[in-house]
């Protein structure tokens, strides 16, 4: 594992004096760039891919009063343009820290997102709902949540947010509510902080029952700038979205159902009906 960008280390945004001063009820000195509000807020780790769903999840976590620590994982996905999007979104929303962590892509091979396999194009909603798509990445959410769980415990946080959705991507086994429930139970057996009773881990999935159109409405209410996000499974060398993969079609449909135009640039667009 390789840490590619610096984030503030656990509690580094509270100076040692901060804890002492808070204990004594004195004026609180804070690390540079950290507001008192952020230092006093409960902390959460949010998995941030740079796509539409995770950007909305980040905004929801923040709107619920959490100081958010964004975690982006580089796993050899073809759409590396997402990593840049994650950095822009984290900067725009305003986070307490952002880690971009790389894992060896050979660990997650065999997917159209990581290997030299064709990304399916122009599929209907019915086709998308049939079976587990080739864009499935082996055990991805289990691996990602485990990274988030470790970071959360180190931060003294028990709240993890992930933007999984069981409506649009019903084919992915690691996006289902029963999977999230099982993971949460495991997390509460697996961590010192939970076993010693300090805090119970909660895996928050605010988007799990939302349609793409509703996710977009919620995000716009919270001020998410969707022009900064990237969702395409197969962008070209300039980073332009293909307009035809499952992720593009769902996204375009979601904006269209709100009577809006997706603000990100596309190479070409197909009909979003069906
Ligand atoms: Zn696409």
Over the stretch 111-158, which tens digit does the pLDDT of each residue have? 777 777 778 888 888 887 777 777 778 889 999 999 999 999 999 999
Query: Which of 8-17, 48-57, 102-111, 229-238 has the largest mean confidence?
Result: 48-57
Query: What integer pLDDT is reported at residue 257 of this predicted model?
Result: 97
CA of 143 to the centre of ligand 1 (A): 24
CA of 247 to the centre of ligand 1 (A): 6
User: Among 13-22, 26-35, 85-94, 174-183, whose mean pLDDT is lowest?
Assistant: 13-22
CA of 230 to the centre of ligand 1 (A): 9
Over the stretch 187-200, which tens digit does the pLDDT of each residue have? 999 999 888 988 89
Residue 2 has pLDDT above 50, yes or no: no
CA of 139 to the centre of ligand 1 (A): 22
Q: What is the share, in percent, of the chain residues with pLDDT greater than 90?
A: 54
CA of 208 to the centre of ligand 1 (A): 22
Residue 271 — very low, low, confident or very high, per pLDDT cuts 50/70/90? very low
Strands (E), 139-244: 159-161, 202-204
CA of 128 to the centre of ligand 1 (A): 14
User: CA 106, 78, 71 angle in degrees (round to 5)?
Assistant: 80
Query: What integer pLDDT is reported at residue 32 of this predicted model?
Result: 60
Q: What is the share, in percent, of the chain residues with pLDDT greater than 70?
A: 81
Residue 267 — very low, low, confident or very high, per pLDDT cuts 50/70/90? very high
Residue 262 — very low, low, confident or very high, per pLDDT cuts 50/70/90? very high
Residue 29 has pLDDT above 70, yes or no: no
User: Among 3-7, 78-82, 232-236, whose mean pLDDT is lowest?
Assistant: 3-7
According to DSSP, the β-strands at 2-3 and 97-102 are antiparallel
Residue 210 has pLDDT above 50, yes or no: yes
- pTM assigned to the model: 0.83
Query: What integer pLDDT is reported at residue 19 of this predicted model?
Result: 52
Query: What integer pLDDT is reported at residue 126 of this predicted model?
Result: 81
- Give the domains, in start order, of the chain with CATH numbers: 2-225 (3.40.50.620)
CA of 235 to the centre of ligand 1 (A): 6
Alpha helices in 156-203 (DSSP H): 177-190, 192-195
User: Among 17-31, 40-54, 131-145, 154-168, whose mean pLDDT is lowest?
Assistant: 17-31
Over the stretch 227-259, which tens digit does the pLDDT of each residue have? 999 999 888 888 899 999 989 999 999 999 999
Counts for the chain of helices (H) and strands (E), in that order: 10, 6
CA of 119 to the centre of ligand 1 (A): 9
Query: What integer pLDDT is reported at residue 81 of this predicted model?
Result: 85
Would you call 142 exposed, middle or buried from its count of C-beta atoms within 10 A (0-12, 13-18, 19+)? middle
Would you call 260 exposed, middle or buried from its count of C-beta atoms within 10 A (0-12, 13-18, 19+)? middle
Residue scoring higher pLDDT (7 or 54): 54
Question: Do 102 and 140 touch, CB atoms closer than 8 A?
Answer: no
């Amino acid at each position: 594992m390789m840490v590619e960008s610096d984030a503030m280390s656990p509690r580094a945004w509270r100076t040692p004096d901060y804890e002492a001063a808070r204990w004594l009820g004195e004026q609180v000195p804070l690390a540079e760039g950290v507001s008192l509000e952020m230092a006093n807020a409960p902390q959460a780790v949010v998995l941030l891919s740079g796509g539409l769903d995770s950007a909305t999840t980040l905004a929801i976590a923040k709107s619920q009063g959490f100081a958010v620590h964004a975690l982006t994982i580089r796993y050899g996905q073809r759409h590396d343009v997402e990593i840049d999007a994650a950095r822009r979104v984290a900067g725009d929303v305003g986070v307490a820290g952002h880690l971009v962590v790389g894992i060896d892509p050979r660990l997650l091979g065999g997917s159209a997102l990581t290997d030299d396999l064709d990304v399916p194009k122009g599929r209907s909603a019915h086709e998308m709902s049939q079976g587990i798509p080739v864009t499935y990445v082996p055990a991805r959410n289990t691996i990602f949540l485990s990274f988030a769980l470790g970071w959360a415990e180190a931060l003294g946080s028990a709240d993890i947010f992930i933007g999984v959705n069981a409506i649009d991507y019903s084919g992915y086994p690691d996006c289902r509510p029963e999977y999230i429930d099982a993971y949460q139970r495991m997390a509460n057996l697996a961590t010192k902080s939970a076993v010693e009773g300090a805090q119970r881990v909660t895996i928050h999935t605010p988007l799990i029952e939302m349609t793409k159109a509703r996710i977009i409405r919620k995000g716009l209410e919270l001020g998410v700038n969707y022009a900064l996000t990237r969702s395409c499974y197969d962008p070209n060398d300039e980073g332009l979205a293909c307009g035809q993969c499952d992720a593009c079609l769902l996204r375009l449909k979601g904006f269209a159902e709100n009577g809006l135009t997706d603000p990100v640039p596309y190479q070409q667009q197909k009909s979003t009906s069906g």
